[in-house]
Structure 1
């Protein structure tokens, strides 16, 4: 199974790990590790510890790339391992290693961990290095760059895996209803009209599907509506929830109209059934990401992909970037080679062998026109649309520790409203009040 196919599952697992481990463990870190080399010697033998957070084929690819780097730099040894039994276990493992001074030089990390890791006092600030023209930092999406710079100041790593949400449409359902396929110029009004026309109660066919589980699946599909309307999730200082603004109310009212008034939305309590119904020609449109493409190919679904419908030409999407976090051992040689390896690993030439070869979106915009990526698009149609859609990933989801409970609060509010159990203003205000309590505790 492609890494992308399991990506959605990992979005939900992040919340569990952060809630259980991050705040308490990182706050309890000890003061530091022993001093290493104070002066850089690029020819000195050095060992870099690299925790990949991967398994199986993904781990094998990264091991091969590490060996290639060692061959190019004979004085460097990459001590590579998964780091933990699963990616979800990595944060707890990192927390324990901080206390013992046994933390790695580089580790995979979910983007939602970024603030906790930055607050640990263990990360390496590479802001000056990534500003160098040769790094081509602007080839990464804005959301990916923001995630690697969680406090808005220190840059703690490189993007590792990127994704985003796009609109997928089932051509069989559209053809049966005689509705024109979506285009990249669609507005939300175009989208709502089509969803209503696609809905057929006699065959239990719905125009659209939306999660009402109250999980992050519910929440992150809402953020593009909020952002395109000019709203924000948090205040500028990150201490107050602002999703209950008029922009948020208007966005939720729009979705309420589709779900409650038009009855054109399949409301999924499970987070998984809507994909199955889309694949079997019972749902006309869904908002999803690259992990869905492999399963649709296996199912033989006739589908297309476009960027999200927009508001006043704004087609912002939401992304869930993960990062290669770099850590500081107070050793000039280790810091230098950790950066060199991370930069090399995320360069286009290597990323084509890693993310692109594995069926993920490319990290860099320069990879989109390569033969390697075009070959993957042949196998996973729509992957190119999602890669180009990275330009619409202009904002990162908050990485503040209170985001987990914030997501649960608004996810519950969205679910209630879409099921006809509340009004948007009251539901969002109550959710924001709950979120503010949790933000104040962090």
Structure 2
């Protein structure tokens, strides 16, 4: 897994998924939660001006078109809600938001709303300064059940809704039709398998011409990891075992890593050595990669590069559809009753179809809800963007990473395992064994 990346024209891709994890986030947020045990910002203004207007501080983390989109929406909100003023000027880029929020919670001076990656929410929500939005979203104008399941699941921690959905995506495979034609191969169709994917990647590879069958991020970060979870889930595994004391992919993870190993052994995979996958995408955009696993955020760049492309759902072992979604969130913090009420009003307004569709088209999200998907504006966007419908349909079978405070440590351990296999430094079994030792230890730490 969005928005400084994703599905709008000229939005540079952010490293994810979906959402990128910052290492050490669990420990950092533990300190922050301890420092904010009082439950609200020390000495924070109630935000109510002499005219009775409440000011809400928003850290949106967006750049380029994402920034323009949120600022336009804020302007409209302020115009139509004369008793509230949302100030979108604070914060940092979304990739640095976790560290910024961690420091803000520790100091007791934090915003009213921040754009938090879904993979970071469990750690952030340990702070008592994070507002429970369960009643807010469930009593909103759009029925909670009308939001896509990944959007609902990504903001729910221990049965409580701890944030509002902000952005939604999914993974699929984008194919370069020209490279397929030159290799004499038919384009893949829905229901294909990972064996067919690896075989196709090998046949698309042409070392003399510098053409790779596919690519995979190789630095061991969350961008490396989240592509593996659909494989684990399809094999019957999970991120955390039902008892919560160990990983749930000790066996299925080996099988998934064997698929990664097959790509590496065939030398059909470009292993991107830098964070963000930018080099991997540049290889694809230059016409030297047959297939890339990516999200809808990459489509504008692919069109701009003049690639004649085809989008197909992720392969699976079972031939059943499954993918991953990496939603991000608008997290609300407690700076007193007046500011909390105003922040709730803003995030509720932002998620409604009339606003959501503007954000989706301009800043690069899939629709948060089915009512948004049904709007004429989204249908028009869908019709004019080749392959976009594949990503939206994938939400029907998409799953999300667990909103679990130990997830950063699990991800880091698995990322190292995947990188070791991609680079030929370890067998799948040995890499997974080392991963399990580290991840299981993280799960046993009291939280």
TM-score by length of 1: 0.87
2:84 maps to 1:80: no
* 2:444 match: 440
Tell me: CA distance 1:61–1:413, structure 2 relative to 1, closer, same or farther (3 Å). closer
* 1:431 match: 435
Verify the 8 A CA contact 1:402 1:438 in the aligned structure 2.
yes
Tell me: CA distance 1:192–1:55, structure 2 relative to 1, closer, same or farther (3 Å). closer
1:225 CA displacement:
0.7
Q: Distance in 2 between matches of 1:267 and 1:58?
A: 29
Q: Deviations over 1:358-417 (max 9, x none)?
A: 3432222333343323444466432232122222222x2234343233222212212222
The within-5 A match list for 1:4-43 is 4=6, 5-9=11-15, 14-16=21-23, 18=25, 21-33=28-40
Verify the 8 A CA contact 2:164 2:331 in the aligned structure 1.
yes
Tell me: CA distance 1:57–1:412, structure 2 relative to 1, closer, same or farther (3 Å). closer
* 2:237 match: 231
2:268 maps to 1:264: yes
Please, which runs of 5 or more residues in structure 1 have no aligned partner?
Answer: 37-43
Q: Distance in 2 between matches of 1:137 and 1:109?
A: 20
TM-score by length of 2: 0.86
Please, which runs of 5 or more residues in structure 2 have no aligned partner?
Answer: 45-51
The within-5 A match list for 1:41-190 is 46-74=54-82, 76-99=83-106, 101-132=108-139, 134-149=141-156, 151-190=157-196
Describe the SS at the equivalent of 2:249. coil
Moved over 6 A (4+): none
Describe the SS at the equivalent of 2:152. helix
Verify the 8 A CA contact 2:171 2:314 in the aligned structure 1.
yes
Tell me: CA distance 1:54–1:193, structure 2 relative to 1, closer, same or farther (3 Å). closer
1:226 CA displacement:
0.6
Tell me: CA distance 1:180–1:106, structure 2 relative to 1, closer, same or farther (3 Å). same
Q: Distance in 1 between matches of 2:234 and 2:171?
A: 14
Q: Distance in 2 between matches of 1:391 and 1:234?
A: 22
Q: Distance in 1 between matches of 2:204 and 2:106?
A: 57
Q: Distance in 1 between matches of 2:128 and 2:243?
A: 20
Q: Distance in 1 between matches of 2:208 and 2:98?
A: 49
Q: Deviations over 1:164-198 (max 9, x none)?
A: 21111110011111211111222223323322332
Q: Deviations over 1:252-274 (max 9, x none)?
A: 223323332x4433333333332
* 1:40 match: none
The within-5 A match list for 1:360-379 is 360-377=365-382
2:343 maps to 1:338: yes
> Which stretch has the larger CA shift, 19-28 or 271-280?
19-28
* 2:47 match: none
Describe the SS at the equivalent of 1:209. strand
Q: Deviations over 1:2-60 (max 9, x none)?
A: 73244433668641583684332233224134899xxxxxxx75443333223454334
Q: Distance in 2 between matches of 1:379 and 1:2?
A: 22
Verify the 8 A CA contact 1:212 1:418 in the aligned structure 2.
yes
1:287 CA displacement:
0.6
Q: Distance in 2 between matches of 1:171 and 1:339?
A: 46
Verify the 8 A CA contact 2:131 2:334 in the aligned structure 1.
yes
Q: Distance in 2 between matches of 1:94 and 1:207?
A: 40
Verify the 8 A CA contact 2:118 2:329 in the aligned structure 1.
yes
Verify the 8 A CA contact 1:127 1:154 in the aligned structure 2.
yes
1:349 to 354, 365, 369: 354
1:218 CA displacement:
1.8
> Which stretch has the larger CA shift, 346-355 or 166-175?
346-355
Verify the 8 A CA contact 2:78 2:86 in the aligned structure 1.
no
Verify the 8 A CA contact 2:166 2:328 in the aligned structure 1.
yes
The size of the alignment, in residue pairs, is 430
Tell me: CA distance 1:283–1:130, structure 2 relative to 1, closer, same or farther (3 Å). same
Verify the 8 A CA contact 2:198 2:263 in the aligned structure 1.
yes
The structure with more helix, counted as a fraction of residues: 1
> Which stretch has the larger CA shift, 100-109 or 274-283?
100-109
2:301 maps to 1:299: no
Tell me: CA distance 1:253–1:264, structure 2 relative to 1, closer, same or farther (3 Å). same
Q: Distance in 1 between matches of 2:4 and 2:58?
A: 22
Q: Distance in 2 between matches of 1:420 and 1:357?
A: 41
Q: Distance in 1 between matches of 2:16 and 2:196?
A: 32
